[in-house]
Amino acid sequence: MAIYVFLAAITVRVILAAAGVVALSFRELLIEAALLAALAALPSYGFVLVLARREEKKPAARLPAAAPVATLPPAITDPLTGLLDRRAITVSLLDAMSQSSRYRTPMCLAMADVDRFQAFNDKFGDQTGDRLLADIAGVLSNELRMPDKAARFASDQFMFLFPHTKLAQARKIADRFRLAVQRARLSADGESLKTTMSFGVVEVHPGEDLEQLLGRADRTLAAAKAAGRNQVAVDNGRRPASPAGKRSARLA
Q: What's the CATH code of the domain at 115?
A: 3.30.70.270
Per-residue pLDDT at 189: 76
**237, 185: one domain:** yes
- pLDDT tier, 221 (very low <50, low <70, confident <90, very high otherwise): very high
Q: What percent of the chain has pLDDT over 70?
A: 64
**223, 132: one domain:** yes
Per-residue pLDDT at 230: 98
Residue 41 makes CB contacts below 8 A (sequence gap 6+) with 1, 2, 5
- pLDDT tier, 218 (very low <50, low <70, confident <90, very high otherwise): very high
On whether residue 67 sits in a domain, the answer given is no
**108, 24: one domain:** no
On whether residue 74 sits in a domain, the answer given is no
Q: How many angstroms separate the CA atoms of 78 and 227, rounded?
A: 30
Q: List strand residue ranges (DSSP E) for the chain, in order.
A: 107-114, 149-152, 157-163, 186-188, 191-193, 197-203, 232-235, 240-241
What pLDDT digit, counting tens, does each position of 74-107 carry? Answer: 569 999 999 999 999 999 999 999 999 999 999 9
**101, 212: one domain:** yes
Query: What is the domain count for the chain?
Result: 2
Between residues 15 and 90, the one the model is more confident about:
90
On whether residue 38 sits in a domain, the answer given is yes
On whether residue 39 sits in a domain, the answer given is yes
**50, 94: one domain:** no
Please name which of 118, 137, 125, 147 lies closest in space to residue 77, comparing C-alpha atoms. Answer: 137
**35, 121: one domain:** no
Work out the mean pLDDT of the chain and round it to a whole number.
79
On whether residue 157 sits in a domain, the answer given is yes
Domain containing residue 113? 86-241
The pTM of this model reads 0.66
On whether residue 252 sits in a domain, the answer given is no
On whether residue 76 sits in a domain, the answer given is no
**118, 12: one domain:** no
Per-residue pLDDT at 26: 55
For the cut 80, the answer to whether the pLDDT of residue 236 exceeds it is: no
**99, 192: one domain:** yes
**190, 95: one domain:** yes
For the cut 60, the answer to whether the pLDDT of residue 4 exceeds it is: no
**90, 172: one domain:** yes
**111, 231: one domain:** yes
Per-residue pLDDT at 241: 40
For the cut 80, the answer to whether the pLDDT of residue 244 exceeds it is: no
Q: What percent of the chain has pLDDT over 90?
A: 59
Per-residue pLDDT at 10: 54
